[in-house]
Amino acid sequence: MNSNVWIAGGGVICGIGNNLPECLEAFKRMEPGMAHMEYLHSVHRHTFPVVEVKASNATLAEWTGMPEHISRTALLSCVAAQEAWNSTGLGDISQYRVGFISANTVGGMDKTEDFFADYLQDTSKGHLNQVVHHECGAITELVADAMGIRHHISTISTACSSSANALMYGARLLKNNMVDVVIAGGTDALTRFTLNGFNTLMILDPAASRPFDDTRTGLNLGEGAGYVVLVSDALAAELPATRQPWCRLSGYANANDAYHQTASSPDGTGNFLAMQGALEMSGIKPEDIDYINLHGTGTQNNDAAEGAAIARLFAPEYPPVSSTKSFTGHTLGASGGIEAVFSAWSVKEGIIYPNANFHKQMKELPFAPVTKFTAGQELKHVMSNSFGFGGNCSSLVFSKNAQS
């Protein structure tokens, strides 16, 4: 139960890159991905910028070998999960007991929306294959089948903390020797339902979002997928010399302040408890954290609550912080997985990511996010925050070596 959980590799696709190297280049060039909608058809196309993956379903299907007619959510998932597996050097996936723990919040809703547009006009129209994969678990099963994963398949759906919770669950599977290796993370595609829902909450920004900026007015929705490959001490020791683990998943915690269905408590109680719990599991102190990848959505409530929790836990000295959502947009159920890949890589390569569009420090906070990309830093411990609707708050800690 006390064995280490290692990050053996990772993969990501989002609106700033179709793989991890492309994403890193976007960060270096300070090129956020916000733009008008190209693939999502909405009356809000020119009202709200989004961060779409720059590839059609046909292209994604070609990359993955999956059929074009299935949900974009599954196609994105398969791209990132395959990249994650290939990055490890583990070889034939059938040689291992593999767990696939994948998060999402929209399932196959993109295809369901297309179905009903035709069906409501004429009940004899619409293809049923557009609705059979509507629920979230179907997306996970489609990708598991495509990759030949059979041993343990689970779907997590806890709003914006979904992917972070997938990593926690995967770590527990490893620690209990239920599998040899776990591909954990999440995926979500843009849908009209999601866009309209966030618009109803009045938390979409008609301009590029500005997380942790005093002038912030909301978030930009994004899409994508991100997965890390979790392995135990035994399997980490068998990795090729050229494919050593990126880092450890040394700590994690989930907390729920149950304050509101769509808002965090003003003082960030759940956020604080999640970060505190992750530190305790890691066996480190707040001052040991070298960088925090913020949840940082750009809404008034989220940034104030997360900021208050950080101020409470880390005062008087604050580590560098930034929100990569200022580049990728808020990818909902995928965000924790995408940001886990970025955070694990930041430990491996000493990277601190910039916070785009930041100009004015929040009046109520004693710290501000970093705005420049830096590499080659000595980062021993990096925290990644994912805070979801309903108060479901999760924090992860990635660490450089086996000793804290």
Residues labelled catalytic: 160, 295, 330
Phi-psi region of 375 (alpha: psi -120 to 50; beta: other; left: phi over 0): beta
CA pair distance 328, 232, nearest whole angstrom: 30
> d(Cα 27, Cα 356) in Å, to the nearest integer?
9
Task: Give every CB contact of residue 169 below 8 A, 6+ residues apart in sequence.
Answer: 101, 154, 156, 184
Residue 74, SS3 per DSSP: helix
* DSSP 8-state code for residue 256: E
Dihedral of alpha carbons 287, 2, 9, 388, sign: negative
